[in-house]
Amino acid sequence: MMRGFFITFEGTEGSGKSTQINILARYLIRRGYDVLKTREPGGTGFGEQIRKVLLSVKNHGLDPRAELFLYLAGRSQHLEEAVFPALQKGKVVLCDRFSDATLAYQGFGRRLDMKTVRTAVKYAAKGLSPDLTLLLDLDVRLGLDRVRNRGKCDRMDREQLEFHKRVRAGYLRLAETEPDRIKVVAAAQEKEAVAGEIQAVVEQHLRCRTAVKQNKGKTRVA
Ligand code: TMP
């Protein structure tokens, strides 16, 4: 049985995920949690190699199904090598993107058959679903401007505006269907305000988890 807590961060380009993951990691470590901070695509040597292939502008002609399988290949390895072992050890795993990204980008964005994408996503993740997902929601133009100002635009950033709009709408649809797991956070706010909202949601979930564990313990003792 997995003992840890699995939190994923999602959002369109330039929504501030990396900044917020770093802030949350520091916050949780200060509170005594054992934290693994990781990302997809990436998180392992193999995953980082796949990341380079996926984001390189040289691969602009990549077939959408080839793209799907590359993201999923990286995920399977990442889970086996990093995420499952950390959860077994009871760590809080903070992951920059996971299965919802595949549904949003390859399903809604690329318009691959959603049923097939869902089946493949579940298979690659061995059925693992995050305990909590923070969706940093932002106007796509604003996010893309932020990315462009950083001066580094990868293969996905360079997609058409309509693609990014479908991804955002897709994420919001996913959040509507799973409101208990996926929490939408307005990412246009100041970064401190975003961080405060995230910390409140995470604290609440971690408290619930502890309460459930304690109750289970009591039941067993009784
Ligand atoms: P990042 O720049 O947020 O690290 O993410 C890399 C890009 O990969 C981003 O444009 C989203 C995209 N992506 C997918 O299209 N499908 C996926 O399954 C994942 C994990 C990321």
pLDDT digits (tens, 9 = 90+) for 5-33: 999 999 999 999 999 999 999 999 999 99
End-to-end CA distance of the chain: 22
Q: Is the pTM of this model over 0.85?
A: yes
pLDDT digits (tens, 9 = 90+) for 183-214: 999 999 999 999 999 999 999 999 887 766 66
Q: What single string gives the DSSP state of each residue in 148-190?
A: HHHT---TTTTS-HHHHHHHHHHHHHHHHH-TTTEEEEETTS-
Q: DSSP state, 9?
A: E
Whole-number Å distance, alpha carbon 85 to ligand 1 midpoint, is: 23
Sheet holding 132-137, edge to edge: 35-39, 92-96, 5-11, 132-137, 182-186
Question: What pLDDT sits at residue 193?
Answer: 98
| CATH code, domain with 134 | 3.40.50.300
CB of 47 sitting under 6 A from ligand 1: no
Question: What pLDDT sits at residue 219?
Answer: 47
Domain count within the chain: 1
Q: Helix 45-55 crosses helix 64-78 at what angle (to 10 degrees)?
A: 160
Q: In this structure, are residues 183 and 135 in contact, taking their beta carbons and an 8 Å threshold? A: yes
CB of 159 sitting under 6 A from ligand 1: no
Whole-number Å distance, alpha carbon 51 to ligand 1 midpoint, is: 9
Question: What pLDDT sits at residue 121?
Answer: 98
Question: What pLDDT sits at residue 221?
Answer: 40
CB of 40 sitting under 6 A from ligand 1: yes
pLDDT digits (tens, 9 = 90+) for 27-84: 999 999 999 999 999 999 999 999 999 999 999 999 999 999 999 999 999 999 999 9
Whole-number Å distance, alpha carbon 148 to ligand 1 midpoint, is: 16
**Cα gap 118→114, rounded to integer Å:** 6
Structural domain range at position 54: 5-221
Q: Which residues of 176-200 are buried (b: 16+ CB within 10 A; e: fewer)?
A: eeeeebbbbbebeeeeeebbebbbe
